[in-house]
Amino acid sequence: METMTGAKALMTAMEKEGVKQVFGLPGGANLPMYDEFARCDIRHILVRHEQSAAHMADGFGRVSRKPGVCFATSGPGATNILTGIATAQADSAPMIAVTGQVPVAMIGRDAFQESDIIGMANPVVKYAFQPRTAKEIPEVVKKGFFIAETGRPGPVLIDIPKDVQQNTAEMVFPDEFKIRGYHPWADPDISNVEKAIEMLLHAQKPVILAGGGTIISSAFAELQAIAEFLMIPVVTTFKGKGSFPETHPLSLGPIGMHGHAEANRIMSEADCVLAIGTRFSDRSVGTFEAFEKRLKIIHMDVDPAEIGKNQTTQIAVVGDVRASLRIMVKMLMQKALKKSEETPWLKHVRETKDYWKQNLKLHPGEMGAAKILRKLRELLPPESIITTEVGQHQMWASLFYDVIQPGTFFSSTGLGTMGWGFPAAIGAKVAKPDVPVVDIAGDGSFSMTENSLATAVLEDIPVIVFLLNNFTLGMVAQWQRTFYDRRMIGVDQGKCPDYVKLAESYGAQGLRAQSMDELDKAIKTALSSDVATVIDIPIDPEEDVLPFVAPGTSLSDMILPS
């Protein structure tokens, strides 16, 4: 036992959890915590807006699979991180958000910079703590990290009143603790795995649908083993993109609103699906009814509440999907149930894939999205990490950037938070400083958190912003062209700002690429630079993302390039 302040206990407890850095911004109500940075080894990474701190922590968490930590002060500092917290919750990313709060005696009195962040954040956190005495802090931190990173990961908020940070107490840092109502793991039901194998073996047209849970639990090898053993084609959700190498012969890529044509086609024809770590979001499956009417669904998920939420399933396997898939692999190997390559279904899958690889019409110009993203893929090493912003570029990345090494592609897929990609890339680069990290961006989304350039430059975190710049809120413009008779309202970004000059004004490198040659050079320059780089790539503002499954329709009703 040691007597120390609550703030010191917070930092000590975080050090015990292995925290090496915190993304944040100081203010009145969290100054006691900030003062502790002077006396500990945790690095502080200053942001220019708290939302970015949360996205950086999120990016760090998704890549390292350990919770990223962000700090914000009370009131507006706390409300500014809410979007970041909600984003992490929607995508099941581990995160610890620590906010300052007004002193206990001031709570509820509408004090300066007071906000009821616990009340506001409750619907979008996995859990929230507000320790009212200093001595609670070590256990709160311990429990917070445990909750954030186990089971289905998510954000945990710790809101600490200023006097609780300042007060001293005899601190006990527990090794063990009990949370009675939290059971993050279930043992997969082996008999259901067995039934699942039977169902897959008897299906004429089976498909594997790999969701984000496959990436969260790193079940890459298991997924590939099962696909290859049973010779089943693999589609993914957008969040599951890259859970399976997209260069693999059995890979068809993401399904969904902007899924690959071949993936949507094959998904629409399948009679049985092994769905791994997915919530069957509307963006992935189109109309729920069309999906489940036709299909036998085997659903593996760590979260029992996902079973039956959006789809009626025939067989459910609750538990960590990697554990479930491992059991499946073992059973398959014992039974030596290897399937041959020559089924009519596989032949059809191959033909469908080949057809769309050759026949999907692309933008005819030199600087079409597909050509740009394929060039990026060609020049990036396989282990490079991609984050994306939200919008057309994000969907083009889904369509035209093939993930080679599983678990290297991250995006705000659930909440669809514009401004996520750049700070998340910074967090990702902190987690993996030795690999190139590229934010595939659009101008609308990037402009929401572009001031993180200051963080990238001052903290020496050299990420690359790969900016497909159509000077437009492109996805909204596409919807206005498609559904609102070309009435373009509120989408023109007016060639403002000049992103090369913007980058330079922050001390970052700004490059412009207006031809494939310039793009080739710019990517190579960025990769060999040790400073953050923005590559501004002007593109045609009229280019649509296609194929497109309109909301409320089924995957078989794709709008295709004409």
126 interacts with another protein by CB under 8 A:
yes
- Applying CB under 8 A, among 303, 504, 520, 557 the residue interacting with another protein is 303
**Least CB distance from residue 22 to another protein, whole Å?**
24
379-383 long-range Cβ contacts below 8 angstroms, 24+ apart: 379/520, 379/523, 379/524, 379/527, 380/436, 380/438, 380/523, 380/527, 381/435, 381/436, 382/408, 383/408, 383/435
Find where tokens 């890459």 sit.
220
Amino acid residing at 17: E
Tell me the C-alpha distance between 299 and 194, whole Å.
13
Contact segment (CB under 8 A) with another protein among 44-52, 82-90, 306-314, 462-470 equals 306-314
> Which residues, other chains included, contact 190 with Cβ-Cβ below 8 Å and sequence gap of 6+?
327
| Catalytic choice (66, 126, 142, 162) | 162
Tell me the C-alpha distance between 313 and 317, whole Å.
10
Specify whether the CB–CB gap between 250 and 267 falls below 8 A. no
Side-chain-facing half-sphere of 40: CA atoms under 13 Å: 23
244 interacts with another protein by CB under 8 A:
no
Q: Which helix (H) or strand (E) holds 222?
A: helix 220-230
305 interacts with another protein by CB under 8 A:
yes
119 interacts with another protein by CB under 8 A:
yes
Tell me the C-alpha distance between 465 and 520, whole Å.
15
With respect to another protein, which residue has the nearer C-beta, 315 or 349?
A: 315
| Catalytic choice (112, 177, 204, 341) | 112
344 interacts with another protein by CB under 8 A:
no
Number of H helices, E strands in the chain: 23, 22
| 113 included as an active-site residue | yes
**Least CB distance from residue 126 to another protein, whole Å?**
8
| 162 included as an active-site residue | yes
DSSP string covering 42-75: -EEEE-SSHHHHHHHHHHHHHHHSS-EEEEE-ST
CA angle 200, 339, 201 (to 5 degrees): 20
For another protein, what does the binding mask look like between residues 161 and 190, x meaning CB under 8 A? Answer: ------------------xxxx--------
- Applying CB under 8 A, among 3, 122, 204, 515 the residue interacting with another protein is 122
Cis peptide before 561 (omega within 30 of 0): no
**Least CB distance from residue 303 to another protein, whole Å?**
7
With respect to another protein, which residue has the nearer C-beta, 156 or 328?
A: 156
Tell me the C-alpha distance between 247 and 231, whole Å.
16
Side-chain-facing half-sphere of 283: CA atoms under 13 Å: 16
560 interacts with another protein by CB under 8 A:
no
133 interacts with another protein by CB under 8 A:
no
**Least CB distance from residue 486 to another protein, whole Å?**
35
With respect to another protein, which residue has the nearer C-beta, 127 or 401?
A: 127
| 483 included as an active-site residue | no
Q: What is the chain's Cα-based Rg?
A: 24
With respect to another protein, which residue has the nearer C-beta, 3 or 122?
A: 122
With respect to another protein, which residue has the nearer C-beta, 305 or 333?
A: 305
For another protein, what does the binding mask look like between residues 382 and 421, x meaning CB under 8 A? Answer: ----------------------------------------
- Applying CB under 8 A, among 127, 145, 466, 506 the residue interacting with another protein is 127
**Least CB distance from residue 70 to another protein, whole Å?**
21
**Least CB distance from residue 119 to another protein, whole Å?**
7
| Catalytic choice (4, 8, 11, 50) | 50
With respect to another protein, which residue has the nearer C-beta, 111 or 307?
A: 307
123 interacts with another protein by CB under 8 A:
yes
**Least CB distance from residue 163 to another protein, whole Å?**
18
**Least CB distance from residue 218 to another protein, whole Å?**
23
**Least CB distance from residue 130 to another protein, whole Å?**
9
Q: What's the gap between Cα 61 and its chain centre?
A: 10
| 50 included as an active-site residue | yes
**Least CB distance from residue 182 to another protein, whole Å?**
5
**Least CB distance from residue 283 to another protein, whole Å?**
19
> Which residues, other chains included, contact 105 with Cβ-Cβ below 8 Å and sequence gap of 6+?
163
304 interacts with another protein by CB under 8 A:
yes
Contact segment (CB under 8 A) with another protein among 300-308, 324-332, 413-421, 508-516 equals 300-308
With respect to another protein, which residue has the nearer C-beta, 362 or 415?
A: 415
Nearest to 268 by CA among 562, 560, 559, 555: 555
| 112 included as an active-site residue | yes
Tell me the C-alpha distance between 452 and 420, whole Å.
11
Amino acid residing at 127: Y
> Which residues, other chains included, contact 293 with Cβ-Cβ below 8 Å and sequence gap of 6+?
none
DSSP code, position 163: H
Contact segment (CB under 8 A) with another protein among 106-114, 123-131, 433-441, 506-514 equals 123-131
With respect to another protein, which residue has the nearer C-beta, 34 or 129?
A: 129
309 interacts with another protein by CB under 8 A:
yes
Tell me the C-alpha distance between 321 and 323, whole Å.
5
| Catalytic choice (328, 395, 475, 558) | 475
Tell me the C-alpha distance between 154 and 124, whole Å.
9
With respect to another protein, which residue has the nearer C-beta, 130 or 268?
A: 130
With respect to another protein, which residue has the nearer C-beta, 125 or 275?
A: 125
108 interacts with another protein by CB under 8 A:
no
107 interacts with another protein by CB under 8 A:
no
Q: What are phi and psi of 64, to 5 degrees?
A: -90, -15
Sign of the torsion formed by the C-alpha atoms of 492, 496, 500 and 503:
negative
Q: Could you list the residues that contact another protein (CB under 8 A)?
A: 118-119, 122-123, 126-127, 147, 179-182, 303-305, 307-309, 312
Active site residues: 50, 112-113, 162, 475
